Structure formats: structure tokens, C-alpha cells
Amino acid sequence: MMQDSQQAPAPIKQLPTRYDGIAKVTGTAKYAAEFTAPFPRKDLLYAWIVQSTIPSGTITAIDQKAAERAPGVVTILTPFNAPKLSVGKSQPPIKRSLNVLQNADIDYNGQPIALVLANSLDQARYAASLLKIAYAPTPARLDFSGRLGEARLPKSAGKPVPDTHRGDIASALAASAVKIDETYITPVQNHNPMEPHATIAWWEPSAGGQPEKLNVYDATQYITGVKQSLARTLNIPVDDVRVQCPYTGGGFGSKGSTWSHVVLAAMASRIVQKPVKLVLDRTQMFGPVGARPGTINRIQIGADASGKILGIQHDAIMNTSVMEDFVEHSAAPSRMLYTAESSLTTEKLVEMNWGVGTYMRGPGESTGTATLEIAMDELAHKLNLDPLQLRLLNYAETDPARDRPFSSKQLKDCYQQAASRFGWSKRNPQPGQQLEGNNLIGYGMATATYPANRQACQAIVKVFPNGRAFVGCGSQELGTGTYTIMAQTAAAALGLDPAFVEVKLGDSILPTAPVSGGSQSTASYGPAIDAAARQVKLKLIQLAINDKASPLYKPAATDLDTQGIDAKDGALFLKSDPTKSDTFAALLTRNGNQSIEATGSAEPAADRTSYTAQSFGAVFAEVAVDKDTLMPHVRRVVATYDIGTLQNDKTGLNQLVGGIVWGVSFALHEETLIDPIYGRTINENLAGYHVPVNADIGAIDVTVLNIPDTKFNPLGARGIGEIGITGAMAAIANAIYNATGKRVRSYPITPDKILTA
């Protein structure tokens, strides 16, 4: 095993197309619900989750006689007959309270309360409709805005802490010449990836006294987490669980946790001794697999007459489930994005009989920048300052929250480049003055930011006698380009064309990798792959210098002699005389026709607490608002990001563009509506839960500075999966204000809110 390489990162040759592109467009890429082997298709049973229809209470009885007589039904599991499990809490990345039929308590409307198994999906679904369930309801907590007085601190805050304080905020605000004190609201939002959650589970029969082995295909962002959670919950050795997921059809945070349906599928399969497939219906994606909490944010900012910020106070209240605490750290950007002599942030929770909260793209920073950056725009307007000028005036060269330097920060360059491309200097600072036909035109801008994260990771790299290579890592492909980046990273360190590298991921028997969340996958597996590939290259060099038939043979060579040899285009060569070379294939063929392999590991730097690793960006938006209907339309977005080295232009820029599209969705479309009487999501489908279509998206112009951050990561790369959404919402909101003079402080921004602002 080997830690991060201290050598300079090898130049990356980018694959011109996605490694997995052909498999996806031809339909040969298999997702979790599409597998049948190694079991016969005829043995596969289909499961359907039955959900509660009340938000709070207990189940007093379930009459399942009619359902049991329905065609194709194999068994029905309820709280009254399900085996007892070691549920408690599941494993990382976040401990979850699971609903796996262990008691008759109801905590939210839509909670899993029974499981029907049948020979077909239609049979299972029909039988589920025949169950007669009796409840004893209890009063439910469903009025979030009416219960703000009950807000409390989290029981388990985790990191970052929910409350931070520096300086004397009361004195700073009192001494300010200009102040804003407003409340900003973000709604509950639900993940809607194209692929719903899906699990296939089966057990290998015991043999020779050995325990059964559990196999799972699961739509997940964390195969290792699923493996650990199942082992703990089912009380079996972790090595007796294998989880596979070669492709995930989008997750955006919701597939980072092991939810109830995964355990239910495994539990049911063990009972019936047959493979079980459990795929959530679209409506079942609302409640049982988490949501972004709604937040109410009171933000106070005080500045002197020149615009220098003296104090920032951000008090956030959000909904959480009665089942468990989940904190959406929306106050995080207010702690560190701008300099201020004094700062105070608080985050409190209101318990609700709703489904639990969870990570959703850009957790914390999405809602945080959506609210703080409107407040900054309001402050700029009061000061009669250009919003960009205000941000530059309060630019934080170091992290004010932790009083330490950034590993790298080039945000000023982002501001300058994006503003120039956008044409920000043409903006009329007076709202409602730019008219084009029947449209009011407005310009807005905001800052984007997201932490740079990485965790310990392992990877294996091999070079075969035919000169081709293999790289394996237990990471996940969410559509972000993991296959592509893994191939490129191994190829760069080996001196090989990435087209000659085979990639395997999404299997828990491979070396372990962290969750694909928190924008950390590339930053975690990249150095591990680089370390493994460099070891393989070193082994090849040592083989060559000891091979009398090699042009690179060096009698009595020392380790220092290896430094004069490098690799390029699948061959080793002498740096001082490149004509002396030896291909991988020829070398290995002469030496036993055996592969060379190595396992590499990488961990965050030992001094990681001495600096803050953070990505930044500048987002500028132009909107048109119809004068008559007040319908807003985003005509264009221009953004520049400081994210370290971009590993692949096609997949990387696609990620950033996708984030901005989601920012448009957050700003103008998305809102989960929960019935105030029954607690069920009203718009639990894609007809009622609005997301943008192509016609809603204007031109998007994205660039990156491409400045390596080698202090954070030996490859110079920071994650980019989430920063694209941050800042985009506020840039659009600020543009709507510039167009109309109407300040809307509640998302999504819809014509009725503009009308009444």
C-alpha cells in the first residue's frame, strides 16, 4: 500500500468521448433493476411496498386474507409477522432510522408498513390494494411555519457545528450605517433522478456448514455503505455481503444512504429463499427516501457607509422528522464567504411528521447561497454600490470562520472573467428600466461556493502482457464520468493511452472507496489510482533494468537508476536517450507472460486542518419577465469556477451546466407541497412536481480557471458535482429584481409572488 504520490501529477490525456458512452446510448449499460443472472428469471419475485395513509399513530390490525388469495401472491410481510432485526441505526454515510416492519408505529404519511411478494409486479401491486389496514391515529405535527416557536438545537449536530459566534454581533449591527434584516424561505424539495431507487437481493445457499451469502444489485451512490448497513442490520458478517452497481441513473444525494427498501428486499429474499426485486414507484420517491428540508432564514447584515461589512447574523430554522435529526447547514456560507468583524449563525430544527431530510445536490451551500446572496444584493442596493463591487470590497483572502488560509482561492479571477463575458458593465442598476418588446430585462449575479472534500480510498491497477491495463475501485458511476476519469488517471501515471485501459467499479469486492457525495469522488479515488499506477510503472522499470534482453538493462542497477526511465505510449524509455525503449507488451512477454499489478491507497493530507479547501465561482444571469403575465424566463447564464484542475472537459463542463440547470429549477420551479391535514405529498409525481424542460433553459456559458490545487490534492483536482447549483438561484432572483423592482424572498419565484411583492 502507498500513500499519495509526492511527484508532480502526470499530464492527463483526455478521452474524447465518455468511456461508458457507447454502452449507455446502445442500451447495453445495465442498471440495478435490469439484472437477472445468475439466477433464473422464473425464480425472481417482485415486491411492492405498502405505505401508511396517516401521518401519526399506530397500526392496530391488518386484514390480509383477500390479498393472500390474489393471483401470484407468495407472501405478505407486516409488522405482525416480520422477523426481528438489529435495526437501531444503519451505517454511514448517515445513520438512518429504518422502517423495516419492526413495530406498528407510524411517523409519517407514506411510511413503509407492509411488503407484498408475488410472481409479477402487477400481481404484487394489485394484492397490496386489497390489504385492509386499521389505524389508531394520534395528533400529527404538520404545520411547519406555525411551530417555529418549538425550534430546538439538533440533538446530534455533527460537523459543522450548527451555531458559530465571533466578535460582538450586537454592537457591530448597532454601529452599522446601513443594515438589512430580512427573512428568506426555501421549500422542501425532492430528488427525482431518472432511475428510481431499485434493489434486487438474493442469497446463495449455504454449503458445507458455511453461512449464506447475500448478493445485492442496488441503485446506490455508496456500495460500501450498503454492504456495511446490510451486514449490521441483518446481523451477518460484512464479508458475507456483496453489493454491485455498475451504473446509477442519477442520485443527487438520495442514493447516498441505505433506505428501508434495501433491507426489506434482502429480508424478504431470505424468507422466501428466492431472488426479490423491489423498485420504487415514482410516487414512492416522495417520503421514504428523503428530501431537502425547507428552511426559514433570517439574515441581518450591517455595513459602514463605504460598504465594508461589520457583522453578519444568519439564523436558520428547518424542518426535521420526528424519526431523526437532519441539519441542512444553510448558514455555512454566511460564516466564511465574506469578511466581517463579527458573525453569528444558528441552525435549529422543528420536528414534523414528515419523511426524513437528507442530502440533496449542494446540501447547505445550495440553500445558503440562495438566501445569503439575495441579502448581499439587497445590501448593495441600499448602499448604492454595484453588487460585484460590494463582494470585492468584502473579499475574504483567508477563511474568516476558521482563521486559516485557503489551500487555493482564485475567486477574484472568476468574478473578472465571468463579468467580462457576460457584459456586466452594461447593467442598469436601476430596476425596471430595461424593456425589450413586452419583456422586462434584468441582470443579476451571485457567488458560488462548495467545500472541497476527500476521504481515504484504495484502488488496484494492472498491466497485462498484451500491453493493456486495468484499473479497479469500489466507487460508483452516477453519470458524472467516473469511468472516464479512472481510465485517464491510470493512463496518465502509466504513460498509456486511456483507450487501452479497462475500468471496473461498482462492486464491493473491489478496493473500497467513499460515498459518491460531497463532491469528493474524483479527489478521493484519483490519488489512490495514481499511487497504484506509479507502483506498477516502477515494477515495470525494475523488471526492465534487470532484463538482459531489454534496451534498458542496467547491470547492478540501484533504485536511483529508475529515475532516469519514464513511460510513454505504452513503452518505457530512457530519458537521456529516448531511442532506447521497451514496450510493456514485449517486456512482459519476455518475462513469463505475467501481469504486473499493485494496490494503492490515498488519504487526506496530514495537515488538512491547517487550511480550508473550498471551491468558488461567479454566476451571472439574464432574465426576461413578461410585463403582463410576470412569467420569468432565464435567457442566459454565464459562470466561471475555480475548482482546481478540470480532469475532463466533456464530463466536467457537463456537470457544471447540469448544476446550473438545477439552479434554474430551484429558483423558478421546484417545491414539494405537503397536505396540512393528512401529511401526504400532494404533488408526488412529475406532473405536479415541476422541473424545467428544454424550453425553460436559455444559453449557458461555463468556463473554469483550471488552476491546480496541489495542496489539497496531489492531482490538483477538487470535486465539481455540486458547486454548479450554488449561487445560480440567487443570481436569477437578483436578475428578476433588477428587471421588475420586485424583491421576492421565497423560492420558487413564481408570477404570483412577483405580483404581490
Q: What is the pLDDT of residue 2?
A: 39
Q: What is the pLDDT of residue 517?
A: 94
Q: Structure pTM? A: 0.95
| 21-29+455-603 belongs to CATH 3.30.365.10 | yes
The whole-number average pLDDT for the span 54-66 is 98
Angle at 15 between CA 581 and CA 480, to 5 degrees: 140
pLDDT digits (tens, 9 = 90+) for 671-694: 999 999 999 999 999 999 999 999
Please determine, for residue 449, whether its predicted confidence score (pLDDT) is greater than 70: yes
* Identity of the residue numbered 733: A
pLDDT bin (cut points 50, 70, 90) of residue 407 is very high
- Peptide bond before residue 38 is cis, with ω within 30 degrees of 0: yes
Q: What is the pLDDT of residue 92?
A: 40
21-29+455-603 and 385-452+611-757 in the same fold? yes
Point out the least confidently predicted range of 195-209, 348-362, 425-439, 518-532.
Answer: 195-209
Which residues does residue 462 pair with via DSSP β-bridges, in sequence order?
A: 470, 597
pLDDT bin (cut points 50, 70, 90) of residue 314 is very high
72: left (phi over 0), alpha (psi -120 to 50) or beta: left
Q: Which of 62, 91, 52 is closest to 355 using CA atoms? A: 52
How many CB atoms lie under 10 A from the CB of residue 528?
31
Helix axes 649-668, 365-383, angle to 10 degrees: 70
Q: What is the pLDDT of residue 205?
A: 79
Please determine, for residue 290, whether its predicted confidence score (pLDDT) is greater than 80: yes
pLDDT digits (tens, 9 = 90+) for 114-170: 999 999 999 999 999 999 999 999 999 999 999 999 999 998 645 555 678 899 999
Please determine, for residue 221, whether its predicted confidence score (pLDDT) is greater than 50: yes
Within 220-308, strands assigned E span 241-244, 276-279, 295-303
51: left (phi over 0), alpha (psi -120 to 50) or beta: beta
Q: What is the pLDDT of residue 409?
A: 98
For 702-744, give the secondary structure using H, E and C. Answer: EEECCCCCCCCCCCCECCCCCCCCCCHHHHHHHHHHHHHCCCC
Q: What is the pLDDT of residue 87?
A: 62
Distance, in Å, from the CA atom of 98 to the CA atom of 226, rounded to the nearest integer, reads 13
For 151-190, give the secondary structure using H, E and C. Answer: CECCCCCCCCCCCEEECCHHHHHHCCCEEEEEEEEECCEC
Contact criterion met (CB below 8 Å) for 498 and 570: no
The CA R_g of the chain, rounded to the nearest whole Å, is 28
Please determine, for residue 8, whether its predicted confidence score (pLDDT) is greater than 90: no
Contact criterion met (CB below 8 Å) for 349 and 296: no
Distance, in Å, from the CA atom of 336 to the CA atom of 310, rounded to the nearest integer, reads 14
pLDDT bin (cut points 50, 70, 90) of residue 5 is very low
- Peptide bond before residue 211 is cis, with ω within 30 degrees of 0: no
Q: What is the pLDDT of residue 37?
A: 77
Burial class of residue 241 in the structure, from the number of CB atoms within 10 Å of its CB (0-12 exposed, 13-18 middle, 19+ buried): buried
Q: What is the pLDDT of residue 89?
A: 46
pLDDT bin (cut points 50, 70, 90) of residue 3 is very low
Distance, in Å, from the CA atom of 341 to the CA atom of 360, rounded to the nearest integer, reads 32
State whether residue 234 is helix, strand or coil.
helix
Topology at the third CATH level for domain 32-139+197-281: Aldehyde Oxidoreductase; domain 3 (3.90.1170)
Please determine, for residue 662, whether its predicted confidence score (pLDDT) is greater than 80: yes
Instruction: Find cell 447547514 and name the residue.
Output: 329
pLDDT bin (cut points 50, 70, 90) of residue 560 is low
The whole-number average pLDDT for the span 300-304 is 98
Point out the least confidently predicted range of 33-37, 264-268, 566-570.
Answer: 33-37
Q: What is the pLDDT of residue 97?
A: 86
Cell numbers given for 745: 424572498
What residues does each domain of the chain span? Answer: 21-29+455-603, 32-139+197-281, 385-452+611-757
pLDDT bin (cut points 50, 70, 90) of residue 91 is very low
Cell numbers given for 300: 441581518
Q: What is the pLDDT of residue 162?
A: 60
Contact criterion met (CB below 8 Å) for 642 and 414: yes
Distance, in Å, from the CA atom of 433 to the CA atom of 71, rounded to the nearest integer, reads 68
Distance, in Å, from the CA atom of 157 to the CA atom of 208, rounded to the nearest integer, reads 47
Average pLDDT, the chain: 94
The whole-number average pLDDT for the span 289-297 is 98
**Catalytic residue numbers?**
722
pLDDT digits (tens, 9 = 90+) for 29-47: 999 999 987 888 889 999 9
For 352-373, give the secondary structure using H, E and C. Answer: ECCCCECCCCCCCHHHHHHHHH
**How many CA within 13 A on the CB side of residue 262?**
36
| 385-452+611-757 belongs to CATH 3.40.390.10 | no
